[in-house]
A and B are shown apart, each in its own frame.
Chain A
Amino acid sequence: MSLSRSPSPHRGGGWSSPGLIPGSGRSSPRGFSPMTRGVKSVSWTAAKAKSDELHKYPSFATRSDGFFSRQKRKISAPIVQLYRQSPLSGGSKFVIILASNVEGGVMEWKGAREWAVERNSIRNKREYARKWGYKLEVANMLAKKRYSHEWRESWEKVDVIREIMRKNPQAEWFWWLDLNTWIMEYGTSLQSHIFDNIDSHVYRDINEYNPLNITHPPPQFYLDELARAPTGDGDASSLHLLLSQDCSGFSLGSFFLRRSVWTERLLDAWWDPVMYEQMHSQWPHKEQSALEYIYQSQPWTRSGIGFLPQRRINSFPLGACGDDNDPAFHYQEADRDFVVNMASCMLGRDCWSEIYTYRAISNDLNRSPWDGVSEQIRGVRAKIFGAPDEVD
Chain B
Amino acid sequence: MQFALPPRKSPHELPGHHSTRLPLYRRKQLKTVAVIGISIFAFLYILSHIFSSSSDSLSASAGTAGVVIVTVLDRQSFSEGYISKIIANREDYAKRHGYTNFFASVSDYQETVGDAPKSWALVPAMRHALATYPKAKYFFHTSPHALIMNPTASLTSHILDRKRLESLMMKDASIVPPNGIIKTFPHLKEQNTDLVITQDSEGLRSTSFILKNGEFARFFLDLWFDPLFRTYNFVKAETHALDHILQWHPTVLARTALIPQRTLNAYSKDSSGASPNGTYRDGDLIISFPACDKAGTRDCQEFHAYYEQWLKKVKGS
Contacts and interface: CB of A to CB of B under 8 A. Distances in A.
Interface of A: 9, 13-17, 20-22, 29-31, 44-45, 48, 59-60, 62, 64-66, 87-90, 127, 130-133, 186-187, 220-225, 227, 261-262, 264-265, 268-269, 272-275, 278-279, 294, 297-301, 368, 370-371
B4 A45 contact: no
Given A131-B5, A222-B125, A275-B229, 15 more contacts: A20-B176, A20-B180, A22-B179, A62-B254, A87-B13, A127-B1, A222-B108, A222-B109, A224-B218, A269-B219, A274-B244, A278-B228, A297-B227, A298-B223, A300-B223
User: Size range of the interface on B?
Assistant: 35 or more
Given A20-B181, A261-B215, A133 B229 contact: no
Contacts of A272: 228, 248-249
A275 B227 CA distance: 9
A15 B1 contact: no
B244 A186 contact: no
B182 A262 contact: no
A60 B244 contact: no
B259 to A, nearest CB: 18
B131 A59 contact: no
29 contacts: A14-B233, A17-B243, A17-B247, A21-B180, A22-B179, A22-B180, A29-B235, A31-B235, A44-B181, A60-B254, A62-B254, A88-B7, A88-B10, A89-B8, A131-B1, A131-B4, A221-B128, A222-B124, A222-B128, A225-B134, A227-B131, A227-B218, A265-B219, A265-B251, A268-B251, A278-B228, A278-B231, A298-B222, A301-B222
A265 B214 CA distance: 14
B232 A9 contact: yes
Contacts, number: 149
A14 B234 contact: yes
B247 A20 contact: yes
Nearest to A374: B2
Contacts of B223: 269, 298, 300
B250 interface: yes
Nearest to A293: B228
Contacts of A22: 179-181
B9 A20 contact: no
Interface string B1-24: 111110111100100000000000
